[in-house]
Structure 1
């Protein structure tokens, strides 16, 4: 971990009720989005395979997935701000700059940090929404501070995170039931990776009509030894943007995010 990351403590104001709108002016830009989303789908399938393997600890599976997903954030930061994106994000967080590039880079850097926390911080859920429109992509990075699951999440247990040291028959039963819950979750996690592939098809293998709208919401969190995972489609609002996108910019999160939050999150969960 770099010295910059050691000093980074997060800033919820960077994300709150905001999304980043990324222009898609040509097929090269669309390919970048497709490649990033296929990497996320591949990471999800790899996680499912590792969860189903009783010899692989759950935390190792999630560390692998987080690292692969994190690279899509780093790639986007480099595309927007160059190789010095970490310092640019930190400078914005310290109040040393207040420009568009700094704000967007700080947004993605904050999202990266929150995503890395999801397997270590209890009762917190990482909750991003990604939407494809005809001329742009919006990335709405959200997290909760008072909940770890949604109404549609699959739950599974991690024996290595249990605070209790069970022995004998009870310990063996708990261990076996935990492995079973992981195997069942693996089936669902692997199945939902196909949703990503369908919502973000290759610009070289699909028509514009087939790919101009798409969207997903994912959610992952933990509480003690219980982990949660969810991925669903989200329908973008075709009337949301009236002007074409010309450069990356921060925008209002949009009604799709509010609708998704209302439909999936339990009452009392605070989204930051």
Structure 2
């Protein structure tokens, strides 16, 4: 098990270099994992639907996504540490506890806080990595002080700009922004299918076809420009030599370094 040291700096760096590994001991656990990944795919399709709607702002589309993700994280935190999960996280960060529950709670709490800030802070990229192995899966919450990747789809958000509706060429800008949002929506729909393909149901695919799978995604913002990316990742079959019986923190694997080199312009995860 990885040893994530208590932090005295309010949580900065608590995520860097770590992932949560969760066991998949049987098909019931696999079904739960599959259901969670389906929910992520459906959320991506819902965001696509909102981005394609001229009556819905980019801010509103992202706010709905944040609320959906927050609900998921809060449920996980309550399951881990109870209703007072924020106190558990603070105790860990102050160095008052250093147990498995404290480490996991601090990890998810810090991730939730950063996700909630993502659409309001310029130049912070959410860069998560989800990997499926034969007996477990890992979730690596990563953030960088950038806003895009080498393969991201960019699109403008007029609500986040200072362009005045009465300015010359403003209508052209708004029309082009709407076109970019529709292009991004189509990209989100297409890449939602990658999630479904990488994490099939145990009731529909043999074990040989579902024991490995992976995705990396990225979403960021620089002033009025937003960006999205999602791609397949091949897990390292030699990453783990021992099974786990409960969720635990582990050091990130070679897949994290590989995806950082391929997709990040600076090739460095800052947070």
TM-score normalised by length of structure 2: 0.92
Partner Cα distance (1:101, 1:248) in 2: 9
| Partner in structure 2 of residue 66 of structure 1 | 66
Shift of 1:270: 4.5
The whole-number CA distance in structure 2 between the counterparts of 1:268 and 1:211 is: 30
Assess if the C-alpha contact under 8 Å between 2:261 and 2:267 holds in 1: no
Give the equivalent residue in structure 1 for 2:43. 43
1:84-233 superposed matches below 5 A: 84-145=84-145, 147-233=146-232
Q: Could you list the runs of 4 or more consecutive aligned residues of structure 1 that deviate by over 3 angstroms after TM superposition?
A: none
Deviation, structure 1 residue 166: 4.9
Match of 1:12 in 2: 12
- CA 1:247–1:48: 2 relative to 1, 3 Å: same
Distance 1:92 1:12, change over 3 A: same
RMSD: 1.6
Matches of 1:198 and 1:172 in 2, distance apart? 40
| Structure 1 residues not aligned, in runs of 5+ | 1-8
Worse-matched range after superposition: 63-72 or 103-112: 63-72
TM-score, length-normalised on structure 1? 0.91
Question: For 1:129-185, what per-residue CA distance to the aligned partner results, in whole angstroms no more than 9, with x for missing partners?
Answer: 01010111111111012x100011000000010033352441111111111110111
CA contact (8 A) 1:39 1:69 kept: no
Aligned-partner Cα distance in 1 for 2:65–2:10: 22
Work out the CA distance in 2 between the residues paired with 1:95 and 1:179. Answer: 49
Going from structure 1 to structure 2, the CA distance change for 1:118 and 1:249 (only over 3 Å counts) comes to same
Equivalent-residue separation in structure 2 for 1:185 and 1:107 (angstroms):
30
The count of aligned residue pairs is 263
Alignment partners' CA distance in 1, 2:237 and 2:268: 28
Q: 1-side partners of 2:256 and 2:103: how far apart?
A: 20
Cα deviations by residue, 1:39-76 (Å, 9 ceiling, x for unpaired) = 11111001101101111011111111222233332333
